[in-house]
Structure 1
Amino acid sequence: MAPSSSSQEPCTYFRRPPTYVMLLITAGMGYYGWAVFAPATIPYDNLGPLGTFTKYLVENHNTPFKIGYLISWLIHIGEALYSFKLCKEKGISGHITQLLWFLQTLAFGGFSLYYLKIYKPSRKASERFNQKTK
């Protein structure tokens, strides 16, 4: 069971999304990248409706399909940069912990950012961090 958000030191607070979410996002982004960079290698006929739909997009809407892939990564990059800002606001000062939040949010986007956004550090910890940064 994951520790509650109030039982962990603010400078090292870190939580992962559920494993199934991480697997789904990894599979989805991996498949999307595969369809963008090596569409000729995809066994469309073996993938049922997903293969048919992907083949249709690759053959008939290739440019918007590739732009969508780029936009999805730009969104993930923006969310990852925002995670640095949230870490500072919430008193998460450990550099390794901030890097973990950045990398996790880069990979899993909003599903990672959610746990950082809902984190409420103790008032004392936030005040201590704000005094150090002034």
Structure 2
Amino acid sequence: MGTATGADYFRRGNLLWLTVVTVSLSYYTWVVFWPQSIPYQSLGPLGPFTKYLVDHHHTLLRNGYWLAWLIHVGESLYALVLCKYKGITACKARLLWFLQTFLFGLASLSILIAYRPKRQKHN
């Protein structure tokens, strides 16, 4: 998407960052909700570290998990504010920015922050 006016501007995030966020949040979800099913011994150095956190700081992990999603909600709402400020008025583009930012956080929001719409000349 993208036009001269930028009203429907949308750009998908970098595939590497989207993958990193997806894998990380998926692993975090697994650790918080199903820690008994994790093959700690098969995860290299990440295994003992994760096991320690699960055994000694599970409440902190759980609270941090919900805080991370709350931050993503805040980022996605801020994306809507940025859309309005930057002149992105198309409903589809705004929805895409909201959803992408909700799911991937700063990996998406940073693209929207960096976007500099071209200002139209007024006669």
Per the TM superposition, whether the score is higher than 0.5 is yes
> SS of 2:32's equivalent?
helix
Work out the CA distance in 1 between the residues paired with 2:100 and 2:4. Answer: 19
What value does the CA root-mean-square deviation take over the aligned residues? 1.8
Work out the CA distance in 1 between the residues paired with 2:114 and 2:45. Answer: 37
Query: 29, 32, 52: which one pairs with 1:33?
Result: 29
Q: TM-score, normalised by structure 2?
A: 0.92
Query: 13, 16, 38: which one pairs with 2:12?
Result: 16
1:90 aligns with 2:86: yes
1:46 aligns with 2:42: yes
1:68 aligns with 2:71: no
Q: After TM superposition, which residue ranges in structure 1, 4 or more long, deviate above 2 angstroms? A: none
Work out the CA distance in 2 between the residues paired with 1:61 and 1:113. Answer: 30
Per mean C-alpha deviation after superposition, the further-off stretch among 8-17 and 63-72 is: 8-17
Work out the CA distance in 1 between the residues paired with 2:34 and 2:60. Answer: 16
Partner residue, 2:55? 59
Work out the CA distance in 2 between the residues paired with 1:8 and 1:56. Answer: 53
Work out the CA distance in 2 between the residues paired with 1:9 and 1:39. Answer: 49
Higher helix share: 1
Per mean C-alpha deviation after superposition, the further-off stretch among 20-29 and 10-19 is: 10-19
Matched residues, number: 122
Work out the CA distance in 2 between the residues paired with 1:9 and 1:45. Answer: 54
> SS of 1:54's equivalent?
helix
Asked if structure 1 preserves the Cα contact closer than 8 Å seen for 2:4 and 2:118, the reply is no
Asked if structure 1 preserves the Cα contact closer than 8 Å seen for 2:5 and 2:118, the reply is no
List gaps (5 residues or longer) in structure 1.
128-134
Partner residue, 2:77? 81
Q: TM-score, normalised by structure 1?
A: 0.85
Shift of 1:9: 3.9
List gaps (5 residues or longer) in structure 2.
none
Work out the CA distance in 2 between the residues paired with 1:23 and 1:99. Answer: 21
Identity, % of aligned pairs? Answer: 48
